[in-house]
Homo-oligomer: A and B are copies of this chain.
């Protein structure tokens, strides 16, 4: 055709699976850094060097893409938590080990954290299911340690346990979020800081040799 109305169309030799992975990587970063609501599909397309319809072609909708991003992040974070949980430590030592693992996992891609806790995440069913699953898998670990703490103090009220679990979950989140807001701090240094903070509240704790 003499009239090249769409000079950039046509395949560039990138297989669908590869393109999907590339889009996913870019989207995770943008969604994580700016939040779901403040990130437009056009932004992602531009950052990935492709056009908007390709994203819709591969992921269906903005929500669809987001759900895959959250799934991706949740899998990484859950795997790390389950890994440290399997290491056999208990009580506060386990908390420290878990935090330490989280810092190390997040260091190369800190935006994953905010992805999972994005307050502007859509009420979309797929996304909510992924988040609910994540929540459920994480929950048990927290409830364990917290329940133990309360029983030690002679308290086995289940509602108290639930409230305390919410508190613990948010302490965990706060420590990670605080660390993310202080990028100069290494994971190791932050872990030590956590140990000092716990010690101030609970007294000295015996850590596993690592």
Partner-B contacts on A (CB < 8 A):
37, 119-120, 149-150, 152-153, 155, 157, 159-160, 163-164, 166-167, 169-171, 173-175, 178, 193, 196-197, 199-202
- For the complex, give the distance between the alpha carbons of A200 and B201 in Å: 11
From B153, B155, B164, B173, give the contact of A170 (CB < 8 A): B173
A112 smallest CB distance to B (angstroms)? 18
**19 contacts across the A-B interface (CB closer than 8 A):** A120-B120, A149-B200, A149-B201, A150-B200, A153-B200, A155-B199, A155-B200, A159-B193, A160-B193, A160-B196, A160-B200, A163-B175, A164-B197, A167-B174, A167-B197, A170-B170, A170-B171, A171-B171, A201-B201
Chain B residue nearest to A163 in the complex (CB): B178
- Given the complex, which residues of B lie within 8 Å of A173, measured CB to CB? 170
- Given the complex, which residues of B lie within 8 Å of A196, measured CB to CB? 155, 157, 160
- Given the complex, which residues of B lie within 8 Å of A163, measured CB to CB? 175, 178, 193, 197
Q: Please name 20 further chain A to chain B contacts, defined as beta carbons within 8 Å, in addition to the given A155-B200, A163-B197, A167-B175, sorted by A numbering.
A: A37-B120, A119-B119, A120-B120, A149-B200, A149-B201, A150-B200, A152-B200, A153-B199, A155-B196, A155-B199, A159-B193, A160-B197, A163-B193, A164-B197, A164-B200, A166-B174, A167-B171, A167-B178, A171-B171, A201-B201
- For the complex, give the distance between the alpha carbons of A95 and B53 in Å: 54
Instruction: Determine the main DSSP class of A at the interface with B.
Output: helix
Chain B residue nearest to A159 in the complex (CB): B193
- For the complex, give the distance between the alpha carbons of A173 and B170 in Å: 9
Chain B residue nearest to A190 in the complex (CB): B163
- Given the complex, which residues of B lie within 8 Å of A37, measured CB to CB? 37, 120
A169 smallest CB distance to B (angstroms)? 8
A11 smallest CB distance to B (angstroms)? 39
- For the complex, give the distance between the alpha carbons of A16 and B153 in Å: 58
- Given the complex, which residues of B lie within 8 Å of A202, measured CB to CB? 201
Between A149, A157, A167, A193, the greatest number of chain B beta carbons within 10 A of the residue's beta carbon is seen for: A167
